[in-house]
Homo-oligomer: A and B are copies of this chain.
């Protein structure tokens, strides 16, 4: 067996700032629009939902934003995270490529989500907020915010997509263990939820609906703010600790990545690993290909429109320009609940539109095949979401083999699969099928995109 290779940073190498790629973009991000007026919104429009420090980060243009001491102190619990060379996987697929991966599953929630949960809980506590509402699909985000809330003394209320709530009781119990309240969505606690239930009493819910519920509660209660686990600029910003550490670790390895691979649901773990490297390129540094890997069953980057859309089903959010399948799109069932969002981070969408990144879509069986191969060679069982990145990285390595070239491939292993064993069980029993979205439903959802502008 070849030597396991881990590149470990010392604790004082935890980044002291987040990297804001907005400072280095060749073209600015399209503005966020008010759905009523069609005009760009201002910070005041977001004030009912977020504390001002978060709003400032959402629109920040400075390249570096200092990480507050108390946030870094919590990061110390699991950061710096390890970066590995996947020698045994390389051998198993007989590739001349070098595969590296950053592992974010060592956090107490088992995924990268904790990086932003801690920051958001901190800024809310500083602003005197008593309660935060949020939504969760697979449960990774709700778990992370539950932990952060318990550490900073803030109540957390999580609207969990009903199908996940019913099928993943362990996630619910996990959030409750940290003192969070977990409600299946749609619920009868909100107007948005009641409206959906009236029309579709047996709906299994969606992220878009759960967002509407969480936003509504925050908007209606002075002591309550809202928190999102992906998509928005400040969330992607907080995840850049991943890529900054990876920059230092790849330097330790004496290898700069030729290709960076990440899975994309809302875009935050992908951005977290990729943006610090892309920033180097934009500032005249090394070139690097960046590949976003998404589920073929919910393919916002490869099949969506780049257009203004609502972030939620109930149309309570502002309009953002993003790759979207339409806020009424309902993906078929598949085992990567974290990748079921109809849209994509505006920042990631903008980068695709500027040809600074690429996107590929994969069906779930190919992803689970990659995940099992990874577990049996590298020892770590990835989350179903992360399996998309593993698939993408293996395919890049196989392409190297075909071309007879060696490249440095870096991917983000954003979380472990310990809460997702039902999905693996189905896969191993041969009961997993590749699910396709309904083209008619997608066409309808895209046809219903809001009209914006003159």
Give the interface of A toward B (CB within 8 A). 1, 3-6, 8, 10-11, 70, 73-74, 76-77, 84, 88, 106, 108, 110, 147, 150-152, 169-174, 176-179, 372, 375-377, 379-381, 418-419, 421-422, 424-425, 428
Contact = CB atoms under 8 A, between A and B. Distances in A.
A89 to B, nearest CB: 12
Given A6-B11, A8-B10, A152 B108 contact: no
Given A73-B3, A152-B1, A381 B108 contact: yes
B173 A421 contact: yes
B379 A173 contact: no
A173 B422 contact: yes
A170 B421 contact: yes
A108 B174 CA distance: 19
A170 B422 CA distance: 7
B428 A173 contact: yes
Contact of A372 (B3, B152, B177, B376): B177
A174 B417 CA distance: 9
B170 A73 contact: no
Nearest to A106: B106
Contacts of A5: 76
Contacts of A172: 425
Given A10-B8, A108-B379, A70 B1 contact: yes
A1 B73 contact: yes
A78 to B, nearest CB: 8
Shortest 7 CB-CB contacts between residues of A and residues of B: A170-B421, A173-B425, A173-B421, A418-B418, A150-B376, A108-B379, A4-B76
A108 B380 contact: yes
B418 A177 contact: no
30 contacts: A1-B151, A3-B73, A4-B76, A5-B76, A6-B11, A6-B76, A8-B11, A74-B379, A88-B151, A108-B380, A110-B418, A147-B379, A150-B376, A151-B377, A169-B421, A170-B421, A170-B425, A172-B425, A173-B421, A173-B424, A173-B425, A173-B428, A174-B418, A174-B424, A176-B424, A177-B372, A177-B375, A177-B421, A179-B376, A418-B418
A174 B421 contact: yes
Contacts of A150: 375-377, 379
Nearest to A151: B379
Contacts of A428: 173, 176-177
Contacts of A110: 418
Contacts of A169: 421-422, 425
Contacts of A76: 4-6
Contacts of A178: 375-376, 381
